[in-house]
Structure formats: structure tokens, C-alpha cells
Amino acid sequence: MRKLISVALSLALIVSTVFMLASVVSAESKFNIKEDPEIAARVQAFADIKALFTDKTDLQAVKDFYVGKFQAETKRIDATIQPGDPKIDENISFVLDNAIKGELQVGQAKQAVDKGLQWYFYFALRDLVNNKIRPALKEGDFATARTEFDKVAQIYEGVIQSTVQKRDLTYGLDMVGILKGTIEQLIQDIESKNADDFNVHRQVLDKTIIKTYALAAFTYATNIPTKPAADLPTAVTEGYFLYLPVFTYLRGGSPADAEYVLDAFASGDAKRIDKDRIQLALQRTMNGKVSEYVTNAFKKLAEGDLAGARGYVMEGNMFLVTQEVFLPQGDYAAAIDYAQQYADAVDRSDAATAKKAAFQMLKYLVVHDGTQITVGSPTYVVDGEARTATSAPFIHKKTNRTLVPVRLIADVIDADVSYDGATQTVSIVKSGKKTELKVGSDTIVQDGKVNETVKLDQPVVVQNGASFIPLRAVAELFGLGVFNDKLEIILLR
């Protein structure tokens, strides 16, 4: 992993002398693969359907071509998408049908076909990795893994690479170089029969493509306010279809923020495209993914599963990399350096060093989105804004658990809190749901029902007229990641 991660994290900031730099620089060369005729035909069909859009586009001919060449495949991939999530065929067909009726513009139909089919190809690429290549590697069938991975490289080069190049040009990045080097590394992993390294390196491929489409959507959030009125419907449609490939994955980091971006583009109303709010929402989704994977990496490391820990480290670090454009350059460079130290320490199974490095990395994210607490100090910081609690957090002498004022947590999670002295019960109400914690009890009551699976590791304590609750247990109950280094604590979504 040390061989790859420095370049994987960012070629723009870190120069690696051990990672096949010659192949990264020569990004225009073909991959050493055997082309699959079926994939080649599908890539050609993608070029052909885009060529049907001319000054005199026959939208019915476009729809017929789509139905004949792609619909069965898009529906096959749609069957793998979570119920209730946006579907490829439904979205493409909706725009085409309404454009044929004259209710949407030809430009909107063009973007639905182009970007909608890119969505399909990306999901088809992921389908190959998850349902063909990884099972083959697990079974030791490296020949099949190589054959199927050649299809992945073919899809990337034939369809997705052009969009990566556009984002590179817009933001001064070199994701094309990173992806070329990564694909060559993945081929090497298969040929050397190293399934563990393949599992780590595939995260670079996947998350760099996620970064590409997230930045593509952000590009339209930036440019839409400058577009002529006549071009706005097409621009909003393009932003919408560029965001769809990454919506499901980013939603795992922050559902509300991912939904906000989706709803803004799906509205079709250019006035709802707020660049700054969309940037913040995207960052929050990415921060949530970093937090999730740092937590999972240490769980795997504690279980002795080094391969699993390495995979989560790379996944989390790559969601840090997705924020390259959003973070100040100095902060990004420093965060990347700590990410490298964190990855190297996990490689050595050095949990103590890894936790310190990961904590320092997360400090560059919590400034923009999250909470910083210091044990013994009433001052805490939420999203970069300093606030003061009525009492300071402290460490319980008997249990060694960190206790914080309940009103501090309520502020952090944006909830209402009350204390019933008669029953000695703390009530926390968020989004219409009530959580009750009783002084001296480890029981958690949610909406009137006892939580049978989760208990507090430290009962609620009343001290000097203030209620204190165990920080980690309650924060995690509300979906926050908790990270600490001595007396410093970070809470991330």
C-alpha cells in the first residue's frame, strides 16, 4: 500500500519515485488489455447515439436507438440499485419521452442520454468489480479476474476518461494520471495474485471516479448562475445527471446533504442552484464518509483483520482526496500528509500512531463541519464557531468515561433538551423523535420503548445542577463519529 497511496492521494501535492511514474505521465497510451467485443460494441453504440443529436435531431430515432441498444442493460443495472433510489432507465426515458412531446428541450434530452449512459457505464464497471472480479479473486480464479478487469479498463477508457479529462482541465488536477497508474497497478495485483492489494487499490479507482462526478456536478453549480436564460434548463439537467452516479454513495456520509443537492438539481429551477450551499453539502457528505471509514478501519485493526483495515483506510483517505478542490491548499496538503502517516501506521499494525495521525487529519475537516471539544474547558467549536457551555466536560474518576453537559450535545446535534427533576430523566428530542436517559441508569428509551441492543456505558450524572451524559455513547447514538487524542475530542457526522 505504501507504494501506491502517496500518488493515489494526490499527484498534484506528492511526488512518488516508487510508483511507475513513466506510465502515469504517458496517460495517452492504451492499456495492455484484450478488448471484449460486446463491451466494444456498447462503447461504439454510446458514440453513435450521441452522434444522433444534430441541428435536426429526430428524438424518436434517439429513443428507438436507446431502447434497442441500451434499455435492457440499463434495466439490468437498475435491478442492482437500492429500492427507492433513482434509476437509470426511468430518468433517461422520462427526459426523452417529455422531449419528444415538446415539454423538454432537445438539449436536455442530449444531456440525459450522454450523462445518463455515463451513469450506466460507471455502475456497470462497479458491477464487474463487485460481482465478477472480487468473487473470482476470492476463489483463486485469477484468469477470470483478469478477463473481467480488462472490461473495466475498456469501459473506463472508452467512456469515463473523457469526463475525467474535463475535470482535470477545469481544476488543474491529474486524475487521468492517477487512474491510469491505478488501473495498471490493479492489473499487476491480479497478475501477481495479490487479492488483498487489489482490494485496497480498487478504492482509488472507484473514489477517483466519484470525485470526478462530484466535481462535475459542482462545476454546474458554479456555472449555472452565469448561463443565459435559454441555456439554463439544459445546464440544470446536465448537473442533475452528473450528480446521479454519486448520489447513493455520498448519501451514506450525510443523507440530508446528499438529498439537498439532488433536490436542487431535480427541481429544474436554476434559482435553487446555490454554489456555496452545494459545496458545503458535498463536503459534509464526504466528511461523513471519512469519519465512517476511519472508525471502521480501527475496528478491523482491533479485530486483527489487517487486510480489512487497509481497505477502509484507503477508502476513507480517498474521500478526503475528493475534497481537494474544496479545502484551502495548505490545509489539504497538511491533511494529506497526516493521511499518509495514518496509512503507513496501519500497514505496520501500529494502532497508537495511526490514531494520532488520523486525529490530526480529521482536525482539518472538523474546522468546516463538526465539533471540537476539550475536556476541562467550557469552550467548544461547532463548524468553526466558538461557543461556551455552562459547565466543562470532565472525565469520570471511577469509569474513566468522558461526560459532557447534555445541553452541549443538544446544541451539537441541533436537538431540544429538557430535564424532569421529579423522574430524574433527561429528554432529547430531534426530528420528532424522543430519547430519554434516566439518572443512574444505563437504559436508553426511544419513543417510549427501551432500546434492547444499546445501553449507556456510563449512567447520566447530575452535578452542580447540570446533567452530564456519556459523550461517546450518546454521540454515536445520534450517528456521530467520536475521535480523541488525549483531552481533545472531535465529533464528525
Q: What pLDDT does 10 receive?
A: 42
Q: What pLDDT does 430 receive?
A: 85
User: How many C-beta neighbours within 10 Å does residue 199 have?
Assistant: 19
Decide: helix, strand or coil at residue 304.
coil
C-alpha cell at position 432: 420528532
Q: How confident is the model at residue 36 (pLDDT cuts 50, 70, 90)?
A: very high
C-alpha cell at position 302: 482491533
pLDDT in tens, 320-339: 999 999 999 999 999 999 99
Contact 435, 477 (CB under 8 A): yes
Domains of the chain (ranges; CATH) run 2-361 (no CATH), 372-492 (3.30.457.10)
Q: What percent of the chain has pLDDT over 90?
A: 72
Q: How confident is the model at residue 22 (pLDDT cuts 50, 70, 90)?
A: very low
Residue with the larger pLDDT of the pair 205 and 457: 205
pLDDT in tens, 185-223: 999 999 999 999 999 999 999 999 999 999 999 999 999
Q: What pLDDT does 476 receive?
A: 83
Q: What pLDDT does 24 receive?
A: 38
Decide: helix, strand or coil at residue 404.
strand
Mean pLDDT of the chain: 90
Q: What pLDDT does 29 receive?
A: 45
Rg (CA), the chain: 25
Q: What pLDDT does 419 receive?
A: 84
Instruction: Output the CA angle 106-111-113, nearest 5 degrees.
Output: 95
Q: Looking at the predicted structure, is the pLDDT value of residue 426 above 90?
A: no
Q: What pLDDT does 479 receive?
A: 84
Q: How many angstroms separate the CA atoms of 486 and 179, rounded?
A: 38
Q: What pLDDT does 180 receive?
A: 94
Q: Looking at the predicted structure, is the pLDDT value of residue 269 above 80?
A: yes
Q: What pLDDT does 474 receive?
A: 82
- Rounded to an integer, the average pLDDT of 375-400 is 90
Contact 88, 78 (CB under 8 A): yes
Closest-CA residue to 194 (of 131, 146, 153): 146
Q: What pLDDT does 6 receive?
A: 47
Q: Looking at the predicted structure, is the pLDDT value of residue 478 above 90?
A: no
C-alpha cell at position 209: 471516479
Q: What pLDDT does 415 receive?
A: 85
Q: What pLDDT does 461 receive?
A: 86
pLDDT in tens, 275-316: 999 999 999 999 999 999 999 999 999 999 999 999 999 999
Q: What pLDDT does 171 receive?
A: 95
pLDDT in tens, 354-383: 999 999 999 999 988 899 999 999 999 998
User: What's the predicted TM-score (pTM) here?
Assistant: 0.88
Q: Locate cell 495498471: which residue? A: 184
Q: What is the sign, positive or negative, of the torsion defined by CA atoms of 184, 185, 190, 191?
A: positive
144 burial class (0-12, 13-18, 19+ CB within 10 angstroms)?
middle
Q: What pLDDT does 47 receive?
A: 97
Q: What pLDDT does 410 receive?
A: 84
Q: What pLDDT does 7 receive?
A: 44
Q: Looking at the predicted structure, is the pLDDT value of residue 422 above 90?
A: no
pLDDT in tens, 99-152: 999 999 999 999 999 999 999 999 999 999 999 999 999 999 999 999 999 999
Q: What pLDDT does 418 receive?
A: 85
- Rounded to an integer, the average pLDDT of 472-476 is 83
Residue with the larger pLDDT of the pair 75 and 19: 75
82: Cβ–Cβ under 8 A, 6 or more apart, which residues? 248
DSSP state of 353: H
Q: How confident is the model at residue 468 (pLDDT cuts 50, 70, 90)?
A: confident
Phi/psi at 450 (nearest 5 deg)? -70, 130
Of 45-49, 196-200, 229-233, 430-434, the range with the lowest mean pLDDT is: 430-434
Q: How confident is the model at residue 30 (pLDDT cuts 50, 70, 90)?
A: confident
